[in-house]
Structure 1
Amino acid sequence: MNEKLSQFHTAILIYMIQTGVYVFSFTQTEAKYFGTNGWLIMIPVSILVCLNIYEIYWVYRLGNGQSIFEILEKSIPKFILTPFYLAFSTVWALIGCLVAKQYVLIFQMFAFPTTNPMIFKIAIDILAFMLLTKGLYNISKASTVFFWCTIWLSFLLLYFIGDIRLVRLTPYLFKESTNMVEGFFQIYMAYLGYELCLLLFPYTDKKTRLFKAVLYGHLLRSVSYVILGFVSFGVIGADMLKVMMFPSLDLLAYIKLPFIERIENLFYGFFLFTTLITLVLYFWAAGENTQRIFPKIKMNVQYFFIVLTALLISYIPTVLDTIREWVMILSYIQIGFAYIVPLILILLLLWQRRKKAV
């Protein structure tokens, strides 16, 4: 019998998958689209995510923990669902692959400007495949280890307490904001990944309290985003943030320690751990879909082809701007999945209950 995920491991999984490379630049997005005190936008977006998690909770409750695939296949023929399974698998595999490629390009830009970035990408994909073959339970244990390896970096923000100036925050809320709708979706991207809890139903039991774990992981990530935004606006200011490409890295560059010259190098080096877990979980989610299409093919073989296909596609975008455009398009699809699929599942479960009653 497969071991079930604990509440703590589940919370860490959600936290880690929401910790993408977007953390390098989201404060620039806050300043660009929301102007003064743009860091506050993270709070309403986080609340909206909590409401979506509550929607997913009702799927779990009405279905008594059934897998979403079982719920769908009880009411919809398999041949109709197959194209959707394939589409979801493609979207998740591409998101994971592009997030890793984005990290690799940033890492190469700062640390190894003359090295071919695909060398790093291939190395990360090999690590991802090795972790995928160990199963979700071992992935969750690895993510917990990586969590403790990286969470201490958040405490580096204490270094800037004396540099925060309230005059840089200003008393105005969202002054000089532009295109807030687009900005809202870009901020929402920072939280994406939590919707994969839809696939965790069979891997947890009632003792796990799955949705408390999901909420804890999400709220921990939200608090860290809000604090980082507050410090960035208080130390750098909205005007300067607008013209910075990676404000978080620039902020860390101010820290001086006697045993390391440039601490931002340490930061994005450790960030490989969170990127790896994000990549692995998206590939795992893609595999959960392909397993319904090709149940007779071993999972490790399916993972190999998912990783290989994503790797080949990752050769196409070669600059960060192109990757951002691709990720933005895929994120719109992912947001639609996060809200529409749980609604469809709730309707199907209510219809199935009514059918049983009759």
Structure 2
Amino acid sequence: MKEKLSFFHATILIYMFQSGVAILGMPNLLANYFGTNGWLGIFLVSFIVSVNILLIWIVHRLGGSRSVYDILEQSVPKLVLFPVYLALAFLWAMLGCLTTKQYVLIFQMFSFPTTPPMALKLLMDILALLLISKGIYVIAKAATIFFWLIIWMLLLLLFFLGDFEWARLTPFVFKGGESILSGSLNLFFGYLGYELSLFIFPYTDRKTKFIKAVFIANIMITFVYLITCIVCFGFYSIDQLKTIQYPVIDIMSYIRLPFVQRVENLFYGFFMFTTLFSTVMYVWAAKEACQRIFPKTKPGVLEFIILTIVYFIGFIPEVMNEVRQWLQTSGHIQIGVAFGFPIIVILVLLLQRKKGGVADG
């Protein structure tokens, strides 16, 4: 009997690959695009994500624990699906690659300015390869361990209560922002990852209440983003937030410990864990898609090939602005996939149900 993901492990897994380095610049993004009290935009985007999760819930309700690939291949010719699988695999692999590249460029900026960024990325890709090769159950258990290694960092926000001023939040809402629509799209990037839960159905069962785990993970990441951004909006003025590119890193520099200097560098290192799992899950999803095309490939080969290809592609964007532009383009496409893919699967399931061809897994 195959092992199934427990409710707790599923929740932590979804949380870990939703979270990432997006939180570091989120207060700056909210201040520029939403304006005063921009942290309220988190509620807006979280609600949109919840609507998307409802679509995933409908897929799970209609198809049970069946793989979405099995559902599609039951009604759509593989000749049509295989190019789609390749396109999705490339998109997900690129998202994993660019997420890592963004992290190492920021890390290099603050800690290792003379170290080639692709050398740091190679180390993270090796860690990702080792995790992916162990399978989704080991990934989930490793995610739980790393979750406890980073979640305590929320307590660091208590250091800033003495300097927090409610007056800095102002009574105005969304004044002085550039565009709420553009801001919502950019903020959505910080939530991406939950949509991969669509491909974890075969590794769960009805007793796991998997969709409930996805909702709870989304609430958890919303809470973390919200409390962090509120503290930043109360610690800095709106004009300061608009000029500081990474307010969360900057605010960490105000923490003083008697036994550590440049404590923000130490804390930033912990964000490697969330970045690693974002990369791991996107590459894992890419591997799962390619596995449908090459089912007889030996274990470990596909993920190695995928990581090798995108590693060399990662040399092309050399500076942060280029990486950000690539991420923005890939993120926009992925948002479309996040909403469009479940809708397509729902339509296929309804067609199968109408024909009496649905077999619940």
Alpha-carbon contact 1:128-1:279 (below 8 Å) kept = yes
**Aligned-pair CA distance for 1:240:** 0.4
Distance 1:74 1:303 in 2: 26
Q: Is the 8 A contact 1:89 1:289 kept in 2?
A: yes
User: Matches of 1:55 and 1:112 in 2, distance apart?
Assistant: 43
AA of the residue aligned to 2:140:
S
Amino acid at match of 1:86: L
Contact 2:17 2:278 in 1 (8 A): yes
Alignment of 1:46-125 (within 5 A): 46-125=46-125
Shift of 1:178: 1.1
Q: Residue 67 of structure 1 contacts residue 201 of structure 1 at CA under 8 Å; is this kept in 2? A: yes
Note the C-alpha offset of 1:19.
Answer: 1.2
Q: Does 1:211 align with 2:211?
A: yes
Matched, 1:253 2:253: yes
Note the residue ranges of structure 2 that are not aligned, 5 or more in a row. Answer: none
CA distance in 2 between partners of 1:2 and 1:119 (Å): 38
Question: Given residue 3 of structure 2, which amino acid in structure 1 is its aligned partner?
Answer: E
Structure 1 distance, partners of 2:232, 2:14, is 24
CA distance in 2 between counterparts of 1:113 and 1:333 reads 32
Asked if residue 189 in structure 1 is aligned to residue 170 in structure 2, the reply is: no
Unaligned runs of 5+ in 1: none
CA distance, structure 1, for counterparts of residue 239 and residue 9 of structure 2: 40
Whole-angstrom CA distance in 2 between matches of 1:44 and 1:254:
30
Of 223-232 and 176-185, deviating more is 176-185
Q: Which amino acid aligns with 2:42?
A: M
The equivalent residue for 1:340 is 340
Q: CA deviation at 1:326?
A: 0.4
Question: How far apart, CA to CA, are the structure 1 residues paired with 2:165 and 2:348?
Answer: 53
Q: Does 2:317 match 1:317?
A: yes
The SS at the match of 2:244 is: coil
Is the contact between residue 131 and residue 280 of structure 2 (CA under 8 Å) also seen in structure 1?
yes
- Cα distance in 1 for partners of 2:160, 2:112 equals 29
Give the Cα–Cα distance (whole angstroms) in 2 for the partners of residues 264 and 285 of structure 1: 33
Deviation sequence 1:189-217 (CA, Å, 0-9, x none): 11000000000000001111101111111
Q: 8 Å contact 2:64–2:206 — kept in the other structure?
A: no
Q: Give the Cα–Cα distance (whole angstroms) in 1 for the partners of residues 356 and 166 of structure 2.
A: 61
CA distance in structure 2 between the partners assigned to 1:184 and 1:133 by the alignment? 35
Once the 2 structures are TM-superposed, how far is the Cα of residue 48 of structure 1 from its aligned partner?
A: 1.1
TM-score with structure 2 setting the length: 0.97
Retained in 1: the 8 A contact 2:64–2:201? no
Query: Which residue is 2:32 aligned to?
Result: 32
**Which residue identity does 2:77 align to in structure 1?**
P
Looking at structure 2, the residues matched to 68 and 299 of structure 1 have their Cα atoms a distance apart, in angstroms, of: 21
- Pairing of 1:96-175 with structure 2 (within 5 A): 96-175=96-175
Counterpart of 1:25 in 2: which secondary structure? helix
Q: Could you tell me which residue of structure 2 aligns to residue 243 of structure 1?
A: 243
Task: Name the aligned partner's letter for residue 250 of structure 1.
Answer: D
Q: Which amino acid aligns with 1:88?
A: L
Which stretch of structure 1 is more off in the superposition, 10-19 or 257-266?
A: 257-266
The answer to whether the 8 Å contact 2:199/2:285 transfers is yes
Work out the CA distance in 2 between the residues paired with 1:206 and 1:347: 22
Q: Distance in 2 between matches of 1:161 and 1:301?
A: 50
8 Å Cα contact 1:291-1:299 kept in structure 2: no
Q: Percent identity?
A: 50
**Residue aligned with 2:188, SS:** helix
Q: Which amino acid aligns with 2:300?
A: N
Quote the Cα distance in structure 2 between the aligned partners of 1:64 and 1:12: 21
How many residues matched?
357
Distance 2:119 2:53 in 1: 38
Larger CA deviation: 84-93 vs 109-118: 109-118
Q: Structure 1 residues 323-332 or 257-266, which shifts more?
A: 257-266
Query: Take 1:193 and 1:238, find their aligned partners in 2: how far apart are those partners?
Result: 29
Superposition RMSD in Å: 1.0
| Residues 9, 141 of structure 2: 8 Å contact kept | yes
Hey, what's the Cα distance between the residues in 2 that align with 1:284 and 1:237? 41
How big is the shift at 1:13?
Answer: 1.0
CA distance in 1, matches of 2:42, 2:313: 32
Q: Aligned letter for 2:308? A: L
Q: Is the 8 A contact 1:287 1:299 kept in 2?
A: no
Tell me the distance in 2 between the aligned counterparts of 1:256 and 1:215.
37
Q: Which runs of 4+ in 1 moved over 3 A?
A: none
Offset of residue 162 of structure 1? 1.5
Shift of 1:268: 1.1
- The Cα of 1:2 is off from its aligned counterpart by 2.9
Would the aligned equivalents of 2:35 and 2:177 in 1 still touch at CA under 8 Å?
yes
Q: Deviations over 1:326-350 (max 9, x none)?
A: 0111111111111111111111111
Q: Hey, what's the Cα distance between the residues in 2 that align with 1:237 and 1:4?
A: 48
What is the correspondence of 1:228-307 to structure 2 with a 5 Å cutoff? 228-307=228-307
C-alpha displacement of 1:149: 0.5
Helix, strand or coil: the match of 1:191?
A: coil
Give the secondary structure class of the aligned counterpart of 1:3.
coil
Give the match for residue 19 of structure 1: 19
